[in-house]
Amino acid sequence: MVTITISKKLIKNDDLVAIPRREYEKLLGVQKGLDKKDIVVRRSKSFRIPKRHEQFYDSLDLELTEALKEYKEGRHYGPFETTEEGIAFLKSKKVAKPKR
């Protein structure tokens, strides 16, 4: 059996994890794939809605896609300590919605 000794300088706050190299490389590959992949929100075909509501759900899908893109780019705020702080922030950022 192989035994290794790890210096306490390498272990900070008990957060050392040891995994096989192949698993580590798989994890790196998954992360790289997530960074390149654009997220697009689409409702499931099994989610049935009346024709008159299709436009609403299509615009909702677009808005969710845009929100996820902004979040991924780091353009988000919060969390807020109180609801009042959150509401005050929203009121300070109030802008007209663009027409779609």
Average pLDDT over residues 68-92: 86
Residue 57's identity, in one-letter code, is Y
CA dihedral sign of residues 33, 35, 40, 45: positive
Task: Say if CB 42 and CB 62 are below 8 A apart.
Answer: no
Domain coordinates in residue numbering, the chain: 40-76
pLDDT number for residue 52? 94
Task: Say if CB 64 and CB 43 are below 8 A apart.
Answer: no
- Average pLDDT, rounded, for the chain: 79
In Å, the largest CA–CA distance within the chain is: 68
Inform me whether the pLDDT recorded for 97 exceeds 70.
Answer: no
